[in-house]
Amino acid sequence: MIKTKKVVFSALFTLIMIPVFAENAEVKNLVNSKYYDELASKGVVIDYRDDGSSDFIMMPKSSYEGIINQSKVEKAEKNYPFVYESLYCLSKKDLLASSKSSAKTIDIQDVARVVRSVSKMEGMYYYSTTKKKDCVLYSKCYMVDGENSDKKIADVNTGSADGQISYCVQDDHSFGVNHYKLFYFQKENQLLCQFKITDVMGLGPFKAIYPGKMVINILVEDCGEDLLLYISTDIDSVKFPGIKGQITDSMTSRMDAIYKWFITQF
């Protein structure tokens, strides 16, 4: 039986997510009925698991289900598998109010700008379960001019995102410098962004995640007065002592940081 897990959230999460959102027929139609009631009452549903299953059980209906499923990370028998999923229903009105924006509404082009503004991740905070405090997650984060390059370029975040392929580098508080290939897909009311790691991620001498063995999906669907946000990360890690707790703690904190980056950019 799948059980949702508790994750530490910031005060900002409480500010935006505590109000119960009004019934939204579009959201209800897209979300698996198994999760809708919890989403409606809490504004968020989160699950993570390491049982080796590769299914995205919380993924909402969208035009990009096939792309997300085709991008599943193949799990090696002797490795440590990890899958994280989260669903959020975000009020456009609350997002604009919290950011003090003068805009009247949010459309999918605004979302396209946000998810391509990777430099805005620089300096954002996450909760370190090791240090028991908030720490800067990425001391550096920016787009670069090619795969595994370090040559900084400005965020490519104007016009349609559909078909865009970009690259970025992130200097992570725990794992150091890593490179990603970014894939973007956009339709009238939907957007998908995929981050795929292109080098090796590790801690000191322990190299846990190899190229292509971590994929992060950010799926956003415009549902009128609300945005339906789905975030997942799919990992196949080398197994060594302590990796289970380290992957779980690190990735749940980092996915929460991605969520907070998203909601503060409007």
Please check whether the domain covering 11-263 is classified as CATH 1.20.1740.10. no
According to the model, what pLDDT value does residue 131 have?
Answer: 84
> Taking Cα atoms as reference points, which of 188, 185, 165 lies closest to residue 109?
188
> Taking Cα atoms as reference points, which of 248, 233, 151 lies closest to residue 195?
233
According to the model, what pLDDT value does residue 187 have?
Answer: 96
Q: Are 45 and 4 in contact (CB under 8 A)?
A: yes
Determine the residue type at 209: I
Distance CA 138, CA 129 (A): 16
According to the model, what pLDDT value does residue 22 have?
Answer: 65
- For the chain, the domains span 11-263
Distance CA 115, CA 19 (A): 25
According to the model, what pLDDT value does residue 52 have?
Answer: 85
CA distances to 36, 50, 151, 235 from 59, rounded to whole Å, are: 12, 17, 35, 16
According to the model, what pLDDT value does residue 21 have?
Answer: 55
Buried-exposed string 105-126: b where 16+ CB fall within 10 A, e elsewhere:
ebebebbbbbbbebbbbbebbb
Compute the chain's Rg from CA coordinates.
18
Determine the residue type at 21: F
Distance CA 26, CA 159 (A): 26
Q: What angle do CA 48, 189, 227 make, to 5 degrees?
A: 50
Q: Are strands 133-136 and 138-144 parallel, antiparallel or unpaired?
A: unpaired
pLDDT tens for the 266 residues of the chain, in order:
344 443 433 334 434 444 445 678 999 999 999 999 999 999 999 999 998 887 899 999 999 999 999 999 999 999 999 999 999 999 999 999 988 888 889 999 999 999 999 999 999 988 888 888 889 999 999 999 999 999 999 999 999 999 999 999 999 988 899 999 999 999 999 999 999 999 999 877 788 999 999 999 999 999 999 999 999 999 999 998 888 888 888 889 899 989 999 999 99
According to the model, what pLDDT value does residue 6 have?
Answer: 39
> Taking Cα atoms as reference points, which of 213, 261, 257, 252 lies closest to residue 79?
213
According to the model, what pLDDT value does residue 102 have?
Answer: 85
